[in-house]
Structure 1
Amino acid sequence: MQQIATFNLKETDLLDRCEAILTESSPTLASHLQGLRSDVRLLSEIANRSPSPNSDFNGQRDGRSWRTLAEKLKNQGIDAVVNLPVKAVVGRSFLVSKLHLFGFLEKVSHTDGRLLQLQSGMEDCYHDILFDLMAEDLYISVISESKGGEPWLHRATEELIRMWDYRTSANKKEFAPNLRKLWSVRHTIVPVLGTLRGTVELMRLSFGLSPMWHSFILSQAKKEGMTHALEEYLFSLSYEQISLLRVYMQEKGIAAISRAQAMELLLQCGETAFEKGEGSSAIQLYHSFLQRQTLAKGRRLTQSKGPHRSLEEYFLIYLWEVEEKEEEGKVGKE
C-alpha cells in the first residue's frame, strides 16, 4: 500500500532545528510544537492504515477499485459520492493540520533571531502544502462540473485518486511554479481596464511568464470564458464588477480607469472589495481562487454570463489536454 510521507527531509530538518531553538528560548512553545508534530504524525498514520483507493480494499475482491471509483466520480460528481475513501478524508485533515503547524512556526519566528533566519524555509513549506490543498480543490471542482465525455476526464480522476494516495499532485511540478509565476507577474504589471484584446496582449508581452503560460494564453485567447477568467485574475475584480466599470467608462467616454477610481465607484454602487490584500502572496492567491471559484459555480448554476470556471481550472484542463496530445503523438509514432 502506498504510504503518505508525514514530513519530507527538508521539513524534518527545519522542524528539528526550530524545536531545538525553542527548547532553549521557550520550553512552552517547544512543547506546543511537539504536540502539533505529534498530531500531524497521528493523522498520517491513520491515513496510511486506511484502504488505498488505488486497489481493492484489504486485498478483498469486493468489486471496488480505483476504476469503479473513477467511474463514480465521472458519472455522479464529487458532491454525489457520499462514501468517499477514508484515506481521502483523513488525508485532507492531515494536510490542514500540517499547514497549521508551519503557520505556527511563522507566527513565532519573531521571538528569536535564529528562527527569523529560518523564516524563508518555513514559508516555502507552508506554500507547498497550500498548493497541495488548492490542487485538490481544483481537481474536485473540475471533475464535479465535467459533462462526462471530456478526453481529459479519466486522467483527471486518476490524478485525484493518486493525490488521495500520495497527498501530492501529479501536475505539481508544472502547475504550482507556473501559478506562482503568474501571481508574481500580476503584481509587477499595472493592468488598466481596456479592451479584452488589450488584456490578452498585455499578458503575451509580459516577459516574466513561462513558455507554458504563453502557449496557454495564445491557444485559449479566443475562448470567451477563459479571457473573462483571466481578467478576473488580473484585475482582482469579478466579471460583474468589470462589466459595471466598463459601462461607466463607455458612458463617460474614457479609455482607462485607475484602481483608486474603480474602487471609489464600486463602493458607491455598494460593491465590496474583491481582494483584501492580507496575508502572504500564497494566502492571497488561495483566497482569490476560492472567491473566483465560488462566483464561477454560481454562474454555472444560474446560467449567468461570465466565466464558468476559474483561470486555474482552465489552465489545469489545458495541461491535461497537452498531455493527452503528447501521448497520442507517441502512440502514432509507434
Structure 2
Amino acid sequence: MSEIVVFKAEEQKIMETLKSMLRTQGRLDELVSVEKNEAALVDLSAAISLYPSILGHQSLGRASRSIETLVNTLCLQDLMDLVFHIPTKAILGQSYSLAKINFFYMLLYLTQEIAAMRPIEEEIREIISINIFGIMAEDVFISIISDKTIPMHIRNNAGYLLASIWEHRIDYGVDEFAPALTNIWHAREKIDPNFGTMMGISELFMLSQESDPIWFEFLQRDDLKQDEIDALQEFLMGLSFEEMIQLSDEMKKSGRFSIDKNEIREKEMGEEKINRFFETNDPRRLFKSFSLRKNNSIFRDRGNTPGPKKTLEEYLMCYLLARPGDWTVKSKS
C-alpha cells in the first residue's frame, strides 16, 4: 500500500511559521480554523491510504484487476463513461488535491494580512501552482486516452502515466511523471504577452529559455502541423484561434502591423476576459486558460471548423508518448 505524504518539508515549514505568528498575535480564531483544515487533510489522506495500490494486482472471487487491465479498460471507454471506471483512490486523490489547493489559498489570504509573512507569499503560490499542474496533467492524459483518433499505443502510454500520477500524486507530484508539461507551464506563468504583430516570437523565445529539450525537438520536427502551430499561438498569446483571426483581419483592414495590449484589454478578449477577477500572479489564471483552450478545441473538433482540435499540451504529450520507450509501470502486489 502506498502511503500518502500529507505535507512536504517546505509546506510544513510554512504552516508552522504561520501558525506560530497567529499564536503570537493572539489571532486564535484563525489559528483554530487553520488547524481544523489541516486535520481534515490528514484524515482525507488516511482514507486514501486505505485503498489498494492502483499499480497493484487485486482479486475478488473470479475477477481480477491489474495495472494492465485498468489501462486497457480506460482506453476502451468513451469520455462520458470514464468516470465510472476510475479507481476510487484516484477520485479521492483529486479531491485531496483540490482540498490542498483551497487550504493553501487560505494560508495565502492570511499572509496578506500579516506583514511579517508577506515574504513567503510567492512560496505559497508555487505550492498552489504545483497542485494545479497535477490536476491539469491528469486532464491532459484523460483527453488523450479518450480520443479514439489517437493511435492505441500512445493512448496506452498515456494510461500508464495517468495511473502513476493517480498513485503518487502527493508523494512525488506531477514533475516526476510529466516534466515537459510542468516546464512549459512554469515558463508560461512568467510571460505577459506583448501582442504586437501577433506572431508570438518574443513570447516563444521567453518560453523556450526555460523549457525541456523535448520542447525543441517537438517544435523543430519536419512534420509539425498547422494545427499544432495554431495551438502554440493560443498558448503563448492567451487568445483563441478565432480571436486571433478576427484581430488579424482588423489589422489588415486598417493597414496596421501591430496591436497594443491595451486594445486587447478594452476588447475583453482571451485571458483578459476570463481572468479579470484574478490577480496577475494567481495560479488559477493558467488553469482557466487551459480549460478555455480545451473547450474551444473540443467544439472545433465536433463542428469540424478551422483551428486546433487539441490543446498544445495534448499535441506535445502525443509527440512524447509516441517516442520509443518503456512507459509501463510494474504491478505491485
Pairwise same-fold verdict (TM > 0.5): yes
| Aligned equivalents of 1:256, 1:42: Cα separation in 2 | 54
1:276 equivalenced with 2:275 (yes/no): yes
Residue 276 of structure 1 aligns with an amino acid whose one-letter code is: N
1:325 equivalenced with 2:324 (yes/no): yes
| Aligned equivalents of 2:55, 2:244: Cα separation in 1 | 44
Q: Which residue in the other structure is 1:119 paired with?
A: 121
Q: Which residue in the other structure is 2:22 paired with?
A: 22
What is the DSSP-based 3-state SS (H/G/I as helix, E as strand, rest coil) of the residue aligned with 1:111? coil
What is the DSSP-based 3-state SS (H/G/I as helix, E as strand, rest coil) of the residue aligned with 1:237? coil
Structure with more helix by fraction: 1
Q: For residue 61 of structure 1, report the CA deviation from its aligned partner.
A: 6.2
| Aligned equivalents of 2:59, 2:92: Cα separation in 1 | 17
Match 2:145 to one of 143, 146, 162: 143
Q: For residue 272 of structure 1, report the CA deviation from its aligned partner.
A: 9.6
| Aligned equivalents of 1:175, 1:301: Cα separation in 2 | 26
| Aligned equivalents of 1:57, 1:228: Cα separation in 2 | 44
Q: Judging changes above 3 Å, is the alpha-carbon distance between structure 1 residues 103 and 126 closer, same or farther for their aligned structure 2 residues?
A: same
Of residues 55-64 and 4-13 in structure 1, the stretch that sits farther from structure 2 once superposed is 55-64
Q: Judging changes above 3 Å, is the alpha-carbon distance between structure 1 residues 128 and 74 closer, same or farther for their aligned structure 2 residues?
A: same
Q: For residue 148 of structure 1, report the CA deviation from its aligned partner.
A: 5.3
Match 1:192 to one of 196, 211, 214: 196
- After superposition, residues 1-334 of structure 1 pair within 5 angstroms as 1-25=1-25, 26-57=27-58, 62-81=63-82, 82-147=84-149, 149-167=151-169, 168-169=173-174, 170-184=176-190, 186-187=191-192, 190-194=194-198, 198-199=199-200, 203=204, 208-210=209-211, 211-219=213-221, 222-262=224-264, 266=267, 273-277=272-276, 278-279=278-279, 280-321=281-322, 324-325=323-324
Query: What is the RMSD computed on CA atoms of the aligned residues?
Result: 2.8
Listed as ranges, the gaps of 5+ residues in structure 2 are 328-333
Q: Which residue in the other structure is 2:330 paired with?
A: none
| Aligned equivalents of 1:101, 1:205: Cα separation in 2 | 32
Residue 178 of structure 1 aligns with an amino acid whose one-letter code is: I
| Aligned equivalents of 2:15, 2:62: Cα separation in 1 | 42
Q: For residue 101 of structure 1, report the CA deviation from its aligned partner.
A: 0.8
Q: For residue 254 of structure 1, report the CA deviation from its aligned partner.
A: 3.0
Q: Judging changes above 3 Å, is the alpha-carbon distance between structure 1 residues 320 and 111 closer, same or farther for their aligned structure 2 residues?
A: same
Q: For residue 281 of structure 1, report the CA deviation from its aligned partner.
A: 4.7
C-alpha contact (below 8 Å) 1:4/1:44 kept by paired residues: yes
Q: Judging changes above 3 Å, is the alpha-carbon distance between structure 1 residues 326 and 166 closer, same or farther for their aligned structure 2 residues?
A: closer
| Aligned equivalents of 1:107, 1:258: Cα separation in 2 | 33
Question: Number of paired residues?
Answer: 318
C-alpha contact (below 8 Å) 2:275/2:288 kept by paired residues: no
Q: For residue 128 of structure 1, report the CA deviation from its aligned partner.
A: 1.4
| Aligned equivalents of 2:137, 2:3: Cα separation in 1 | 19
Q: For residue 263 of structure 1, report the CA deviation from its aligned partner.
A: 5.2
C-alpha contact (below 8 Å) 2:184/2:207 kept by paired residues: no
C-alpha contact (below 8 Å) 2:157/2:321 kept by paired residues: yes
C-alpha contact (below 8 Å) 2:204/2:236 kept by paired residues: no
Q: For residue 45 of structure 1, report the CA deviation from its aligned partner.
A: 1.1
Q: Which has the higher contact order (CA 8 A, sep 6+)?
A: 2
Residue 325 of structure 1 aligns with an amino acid whose one-letter code is: P
C-alpha contact (below 8 Å) 1:191/1:235 kept by paired residues: yes
Q: For residue 60 of structure 1, report the CA deviation from its aligned partner.
A: 6.7
Which digits, 9 at most, give the CA deviation of each residue in 1:184-236, with x for residues without a partner? 2x32x623345xxx446973587734344333222278411111111212222
Q: For residue 10 of structure 1, report the CA deviation from its aligned partner.
A: 1.8
Residue 43 of structure 2 aligns with an amino acid whose one-letter code is: L
Q: For residue 16 of structure 1, report the CA deviation from its aligned partner.
A: 1.9
Which digits, 9 at most, give the CA deviation of each residue in 1:83-111, with x for residues without a partner? 32110111111111111111100001033
What is the DSSP-based 3-state SS (H/G/I as helix, E as strand, rest coil) of the residue aligned with 2:313? helix
Q: For residue 151 of structure 1, report the CA deviation from its aligned partner.
A: 3.4
Q: Which residue in the other structure is 1:331 paired with?
A: none
What is the DSSP-based 3-state SS (H/G/I as helix, E as strand, rest coil) of the residue aligned with 1:63? strand
Q: For residue 72 of structure 1, report the CA deviation from its aligned partner.
A: 1.4
C-alpha contact (below 8 Å) 2:141/2:158 kept by paired residues: yes
What is the DSSP-based 3-state SS (H/G/I as helix, E as strand, rest coil) of the residue aligned with 1:151? helix
C-alpha contact (below 8 Å) 1:204/1:218 kept by paired residues: no
| Aligned equivalents of 1:285, 1:207: Cα separation in 2 | 17
Task: Quote the sequence identity (%).
Answer: 21
| Aligned equivalents of 1:204, 1:28: Cα separation in 2 | 48
Q: Judging changes above 3 Å, is the alpha-carbon distance between structure 1 residues 102 and 248 closer, same or farther for their aligned structure 2 residues?
A: same
C-alpha contact (below 8 Å) 1:109/1:119 kept by paired residues: yes
| TM-score normalised according to structure 2 size | 0.84
| TM-score normalised according to structure 1 size | 0.84
Of residues 216-225 and 72-81 in structure 1, the stretch that sits farther from structure 2 once superposed is 216-225
Listed as ranges, the gaps of 5+ residues in structure 1 are 329-334
| Aligned equivalents of 1:151, 1:71: Cα separation in 2 | 11
